[in-house]
Chains A and B, each alone.
Chain A
């Protein structure tokens, strides 16, 4: 059995996330994004690789969307309405509520501002969203009889989720984008300790390790305060959802504390509308925000009002949130053109900008001019502040997650090629987990675990449990967030010693195999036990026995025994064995000497059938009838060779001990 992952997008790049995973006869598409950096057909994943005939309904069992960002959901309406996929689509409640806004915003931008021919219409978006089944976190969703999926909190944006998928015994997690540090409005990613064959994780910050977030927030607030104090205008280009709310909470709070009266604006109704959703979806924000929700909804911002285009050139300082985030066009570009030439003003940039956008140009070096197209160029004199609190996990977070889940294989997507290669190396060398970083349109095939369902008898299970077992659930129960210091939970893995489970598996034709205990086996199979016993009537020289007795510190008990008594001779033999061997569990029971299954007693008869060859010569030899089972063969022969030792010369042709050690 194997799991096949066809990377249709976000392979060694950021943009148009889309991975098609085939396992156990099912195909799941994770994300269906678009690339913001391209305007040609490269903006969409190459769907023709899924099915050359274009019959996507029979080749895909379901689509899972991790969050509402366009590079994860942007191609969905195109795929469902234009390419004709009409199977189930799963996303979380917030994603289902917010994705249409993002899509519509993008569509408008393409059509109205760039005058492009539209790839999909508003109706397409509406129709597409009707096919979406909303899921809650941790809810076990049975897509069909064999395919089960489950969402886990990813913390990246409102409603972002990592998805676990299981077909039969094949298991995997696709993380989408995630964040391991809680921010102003979202919690940190959280997942159970699952047993996985495959983990497909984002790797945006494959090599970055970030410091405390509070320092970076302070830095941002300082820059903002300095700028408005100097009468400057601040442009914060953001996506409507996510960063905007986080920064708003931050600024609203700061304004309150510093008693600032400078207006904070939201461009267009988009963000205002978005706040409405945030209020209803407060259950998906961080615990801290949920807790204060009973008194006042934290998304009711006190200092925020909506912006009018006429205010662009009005005097005085202000803060403006404008879409889109990377100044790739739209309103944020319009404002940027106006504000960039003044050194009083400030533009903040998100931590990551797609190549080709103005945001990207501003980040790489400090350009003084930006050529927008051949006719327009912008003088850039304003200050640039780069926001480095990105809602992506850093390298440490990725390593921690991989270590926590310890999957059998890791695939990296959604990152930059050289950084991914370095992270891949670390995962392989530090964690010993095979790791892949496929390029777009590559397929990675990994093997999966396979188990066979068998029956086990009650006594078998009980015996194993009574012996104690390795408590696996303890690890599974603890779920993981980086903020809560998960390193402690990792130590739980081998909290108890391993106990070996031993049984017999019976496989009968046309029946399920069954594991039973040895003592149940005969009954199950319907036969009787046949015992194999090895015997030998062994001659021992009386002299050597007496010698053993006298040579010992002769306990008082032995003195009471008389030489005619069997117990006397058994005791002598016991002493002899004690003296001449390292067996420490030789026991005297009644008139018998025993060591594991080896038993020996004085042979009462002269014509013992188990006597081979030797005979009593003048009463100097005693015969001990010995028997043992094949298990103790080695021990038995060693004991026998000690017993025979003295009589050896007389019966040398028989008793050439193969061990030869004690002679």
Chain B
């Protein structure tokens, strides 16, 4: 087994990506798209904006590239031959956005596995990206050149250093990874290669590998994976959230009992770097939200050491602390939104996380209600309608609280009612006629994209960026300074907030203890942040980006299932005294769902006689003579000194000679019957099989 980490990713929207070689299969774990190059491109100017600046030169003071944006695939993925991938596992919608780049390759033949909900949401996100991107193509015209003007070296040289870094990357190699976006046809073709599954559905890949997704809690349909091969069982843990407020939670109990864990939740590493603080903006007029530091304090870890029983461990992991912490943040955002609305300002929320959007919708509408504010909420996105209606028909994928709504016959999410009561309006695009007739300011707008470069948000920012009473709510992980570059000077308030997007570092040791593997593969960066005490239960290996980690075999033998009727056909013989029995086995090997089954052969036996007999041990001359005597053959033992060989001379019933060596006994007779009988006697004193 080999694990190669292609990319550590960058948080929720760009998950880590690995290649796993297992039981002869090459499996790609996630295939996200890197949208960071977007930051180097200028948003499309809105009409008013454009009229004002029509005379300006193509590249303005912000230095942004004015062209159809390009995107990047996972860094080292291009080094792989796509035809060699056997399977792709997708854990979350963000983990599949780069797949059309791969799947459009004519030699790509892998099966893509994702949960039904992930595949659906991922497809919607691709469509959204395509729709937002289309605006650029419409504006600049289709990209005819494979190597556009701005990609030439002298053009790149004059880019501001920050942008140059984004475009060129760490090394020049990444430049070549900048790709034009895939087409709608590519997406369609890609989706055809999906095998969409349910949580805990066992799928058999190629007869050998059993693959099973288990809820991870990160998003509706997000999953971790159990991969079981003939001699390997691996748990692949992606970013997971123990208790989600909308999606089904992290089902870690179902992950128990596997030998190896590939731990690929890098979310806590981000926290370690940022010190758990919400990055504060210089211009942010609202109060900073101080989170409790998530640095594992020595005391919290030592207390972990004590709890060995499962109950105590479970208590460490679950509980409402995470939900309430997240709710606090959301309530805070909601209160900021209220403050802004009361002052007559509009609010722009380009957050791309479905769970956050669903919760904010409910919180904000409730707050508006209680304050008796009649401010409309707009959701502007090509996929708004379909996404929201989708969330209302997937009770199986939701957390207990939302499932309960199904049983009591209520709509699963509050947005259904908001839509009916005309408090929430959905529009596919900014310029849709119904939007123009409905539009009211102040308003609260949910709209992609968090890069602030593409999508309706860019136009709305151009409209509102200089209004002091307006508010922009951003996710952590976006370089706000860079994101706002094209809109400078920015007068509107900016609130940036991080959301829980994985397992907190202090929960990793108790989790691993519950999962009880033999070996854990962890990112190198986590080495210093885990207490050494857990290592007494299991061992660790560390992997780092773009390196291949070889995992030694833990099990030599295969497990096979021997059918009863075949077992009954066996004729065991005792050898080596009485402790061991051996038997020749002849049957048919079947592989069914990763299991090796040995069943009786349906073919009539052709060579079941003693044909392939194997003898071992040594011939004791005296035993042989007595065995011969039993068959009325009389022999006498004699020794020949020169070779050390022992001879048994047979005279009755006719002449024969038996030469006994250490590894060989030669029976010599011209009489077939006699020869056969001597042979039988010799066999009886040997361990034959």
**Using a CB–CB distance below 8 Å, which chain A residues touch chain B?**
93, 96-97, 100, 129, 134, 136-142, 169, 195, 273, 276-277, 279-283, 293-294, 297, 449-458, 460-461, 464-465, 469-474, 476-477, 498-509, 513-515, 518, 521-522, 525-538, 609-610, 612-614, 627, 630-631, 633, 637, 640, 654-655, 657-659
Contacts and interface: CB of A to CB of B under 8 A. Distances in A.
B580 A530 contact: no
A506 B582 contact: yes
Nearest to A497: B603
Contacts of B592: 195, 472-473, 476
| Chief secondary structure at chain B's binding surface | mixed
B11 to A, nearest CB: 30
B615 A293 contact: no
Contacts of B201: 138-140
Contacts of B687: 527
B143 to A, nearest CB: 30
A536 B583 contact: no
Contacts of A514: 557
Given A515-B598, A518-B614, A633-B676, A458 B587 contact: no
A631 B557 contact: no
B393 A280 contact: yes
B672 A531 contact: no
Given A458-B557, A612-B654, 7 more contacts: A138-B201, A451-B563, A469-B590, A473-B207, A502-B584, A612-B669, A658-B673
Contact of A457 (B557, B587, B657): B557
A136 B54 CA distance: 58
Range for the number of chain B residues in contact with chain A: 35 or more
Contacts of A509: 579-580
Nearest to B117: A283
Contacts of A640: 670
Nearest to A614: B670
Contact of B679 (A452, A525, A534): A534
Nearest to B671: A654
Interface stretch (B158-166, B239-247, B401-409, B625-633): B401-409
Given A139-B200, A458-B558, A504-B585, A528 B207 contact: no
6 contacts: A449-B563, A472-B597, A477-B204, A500-B586, A521-B689, A631-B610
Contacts of B618: 530
Interface of B: 197-202, 204, 206-208, 212, 230, 254, 385-386, 389, 392-396, 403, 406-407, 409, 411-412, 556-564, 567, 570, 572, 575-576, 579-593, 596-598, 601-603, 610-619, 654-657, 659, 663-673, 675-676, 679, 682-683, 686-687, 689
A525 B412 contact: no
Contacts of B202: 140
A529 B596 contact: no
Interface core residue of A100, A453, A470, A657 (most chain B CB under 10 Å): A470
Contact of B588 (A142, A452, A500): A500
Contact of B589 (A169, A283, A464): A464
Contacts of B392: 279-280
Contact of B610 (A529, A630, A657): A630
A505 to B, nearest CB: 5
Contacts, number: 288
Given A136-B198, A533-B664, A654-B654, A506 B580 contact: yes
- Smallest CB-CB A-B distances: 6 pairs: A473-B207, A455-B557, A451-B561, A456-B560, A527-B616, A138-B201
B663 A454 contact: no
Contacts of B610: 630-631
Given A282-B393, A455-B559, A525-B576, A535 B593 contact: no
Contact of B207 (A96, A141, A464, A474): A474
A528 B664 CA distance: 11
A530 B657 contact: no
Given A137-B198, A527-B576, A452 B669 contact: no
A10 to B, nearest CB: 27
Contacts of B611: 631
Contact of A507 (B556, B563, B581, B665): B581
A502 B394 contact: no
A451 B406 contact: no
Contact of A500 (B199, B406, B601, B679): B601
B558 A457 contact: yes
Contacts of B198: 136-139
Contacts of A169: 561
Contacts of A627: 666
B580 A498 contact: no
A139 B584 CA distance: 40
Contact of B668 (A476, A531, A610): A610
Contact of A471 (B207, B559, B584, B671): B207
A473 B617 contact: no
A530 B615 contact: yes
A498 B581 contact: no
Nearest to A276: B409
Contacts of B612: 502, 518, 631
B317 to A, nearest CB: 20
Interface core residue of B672, B673, B683 (most chain A CB under 10 Å): B672
Contacts of B602: 498
